[in-house]
Chains A and B, each alone.
Chain A
């Protein structure tokens, strides 16, 4: 069941269309990746989901009903542009932000203290924000985003400013939240973390959704049907190249007498056809399908879009 969905959302600004009939659907308990180049409209969409701005047309549904102000307490938002009151004590500030999300004070104190214990930062409670490093501030920011235990979490570039160790800590916390039943919208330019974390993705470019679906389906959809076959020592190139099932793209002699080849399978051919011909040509060491990374897909699609626009 989808926890949050948008239906043909349109948002216009003075001189451009930020969102053009964007429809997405975020499944409950999943991590949803919201991708797109800079200025694609991701932040506009996120602000509409947070009810910071309202769509000009289209609807947003939360738990099956039209999104309304009372849902604010069930959403946690970590914006890309984030900060804290520099002169305010961390504990006080965290309580204040939790109260604004509708949490009673005593409950906020209790939950915050347990998160501070978990991150081993109890002694920061009475410090001022300006005394902390940027990475430390990001930790506080993360805690403040999730402390009211929202059903829906929105992270916009959550890993920026974290070192690899803390980024991993954060990643595992995000997976913990997912395991505990939270739904997460995750916006980032870091494609490797998308592949690690996301169940579904939507790719927005120029205000339009140009890709939408599960990570697995999309990768399948974009695989180029290229395979890598490695042979040991001898290999009959003539035998291997002359066939109607595939095109030989490259042959590469690697160290230890390993010969690596790349082929593109033709339509209607199967991997079995490929292997049968390979067996005749030499001794097969390994056989792999080349699957594109999200990074490749992203660059590919956005570039295609750009060409279409200019054409």
Chain B
């Protein structure tokens, strides 16, 4: 037992001290943080230049209906024809010319904008939205509908989703939130199983092809060497994961602070949710429960359960696959030979990732049930279902099956590993592996 600790320690330290690990630990969070930070930076940069648009509107039918924004400045031009404006365009007085026909409401396809460079989509949609509102208002007044009447008819529905259990406890939950958490957790588990499973395999192959293994197993049992390696790399994975969370959080918070203190721009957290302060207020007005309700929904997710099952399936899934990866590494002599044995291992993993979409749509269907029971897919499928609520017996059965299978695959892997690591220069077939199991 003591010797497993030495092996574990070596496996852990040599990997954590590697440059690639340190780089990955920083680059990973940077990439993740960039997903939040860059849109905001782009948004703040856009504001640097104001777009100056000349508006040509015969008869002033839409005069002053386009409000200036921080990004766009509309200037109504009189006494000049479109041809004159076009002729003078390259004097760079304006960035674009917007031509609004006087009878836009009856010929909406005649709205035209001229520019040297392509106009941004956000600018175009701002113009069309503003004018659409105006046209609607005009048409309404023609048909004799007034605005108050319309507002009183309009409804905005949001469904409250409430789950409850046999004890009668009711939980207000959010399907979107469950989906997001399930999806992200599944992706992380998938990614880590692949990344670190492959590391186990490469580690075993390094020892075999480097001819170190015979020296080591004259001191420790092959099983101890294999388990020490699997557990050591598991710790590396957990370390990396923890670093990513902490660093991503730190970078996002840091950037948030820097930008927010720079000027009065909306903060990243607000923008990343796609909501400016105004929007949030609007949302709150619409929603009966308001801010407190949203908080309640977030609070009501089964966090303890999600966290527990995430850690369980993260470790369980890794252990299950890592032992198989170790067996492959032990059986083959070089990287190219791994392909034929990798296939049966990667198929269930990739299958479960393909199914994620279907499971999210129907987290309690029979497909979801069965694939969350099969231990080779359960680490990814079950974690998606947890956010939506899973019966305790299903959870227990799935975990039990995972543990049993993990013990089984480790036993099988140890047998293959034990024989394989001492065989050099032999191309191994499935038939051969089957024989090793019976030694």
Contact status A79-B219, CB under 8 Å:
no
Within 204-235 of B, Cβ neighbours of A (below 8 Å) are at: 206-207, 210-212, 214-220
- B interface, over-half SS: helix
Nearest 5 A-B pairs (CB), nearest first? A83-B211, A100-B219, A83-B210, A77-B218, A79-B214
Other A-B pairs, 8, CB within 8 Å; known A50-B218, A77-B214, A85-B206: A52-B214, A81-B211, A82-B211, A82-B212, A85-B207, A88-B14, A96-B10, A97-B216
- Given that A14-B435, A99-B6 are contacting pairs, would A81 and B218 also be in contact in the complex, using a CB cutoff of 8 Å? no
> A100-B3, A100-B6 known; A86 and B217 CB under 8 Å?
no
Interface bin, chain A: 20 to 34
* 28 contacts across the A-B interface (CB closer than 8 A): A14-B435, A47-B422, A50-B218, A52-B214, A52-B218, A52-B422, A53-B422, A72-B218, A77-B218, A79-B211, A79-B218, A81-B424, A82-B214, A83-B211, A83-B212, A83-B215, A84-B212, A85-B14, A85-B210, A85-B212, A87-B14, A96-B6, A97-B219, A99-B6, A100-B3, A100-B6, A100-B216, A100-B220
Which residues of A lie under 8 Å from residue B7 when comparing CB positions?
A: 100
B419-439 vs A: 1/0 string, CB under 8 Å?
A: 000101000000000010000
Minimum CB distance partner of A81 in chain B: B211
> A79 to B10, Cβ gap below 8 A?
no
Task: Encode A73-113 as 1/0 by CB contact (under 8 A) with B.
Answer: 00101010111111110000000110111100000000000
How long is the Cα–Cα vector from A101 to B422 in the complex, in angstroms?
20
Within 8 A of B (CB), among A38-53: 47, 50-53
A14: chain B residues within 8 A (beta carbon): 435
Q: Is A144 at the interface (CB under 8 A from chain B)?
A: yes
Q: Mark A191-210, 1 if CB is under 8 A from B, else 0.
A: 00000000000000000000
Binding site for B on A (CB under 8 A): 14, 47, 50-53, 72, 75, 77, 79, 81-88, 96-97, 99-102, 141, 144
* Contact of A81 with B214 at beta-carbon distance under 8 Å, contacts A52-B422, A72-B219, A88-B14 already known: yes
Residues of A within 8 A of B207 (CB): 85
Q: What is the chain A residue whose CB lies nearest that of B3?
A: A100
Asked if A52 contacts B215 (CB within 8 A), the reply is: no
Residues of A within 8 A of B422 (CB): 47, 52-53
Contact of A97 (CB < 8 Å), options: B210, B214, B215, B424: B215
Distance in angstroms from A61 CB to nearest chain B CB is 18
Q: Tell me whether A86 and B220 are in contact (CB under 8 A).
A: no
CB neighbours (8 Å) of B219 from chain A are 72, 97, 100-102
Considering only CB atoms, which chain B residue lies closest to A144 in the complex?
Answer: B215
**A86 close to B210 (CB less than 8 A):** yes
Bound-state Cα–Cα, A272 to B6, Å: 68
Cα-based distance from A51 to B214 in the complex (angstroms)? 11
- Tell me, rounded to whole Å, the shortest Cβ–Cβ distance linking B232 to chain A: 13
Taking CB atoms, residues of chain A closer than 8 Å to B211 are: 79, 81-83
Closest to B216 in A: A100
Query: Bound complex: CA of A75 vs CA of B217, how far in Å?
Result: 12
Of the candidates B6, B10, B14, B215, the one having the most CB atoms from chain A within 10 angstroms of its own CB is B215
Which residue of the partner chain A has the closest CB to B18? A87
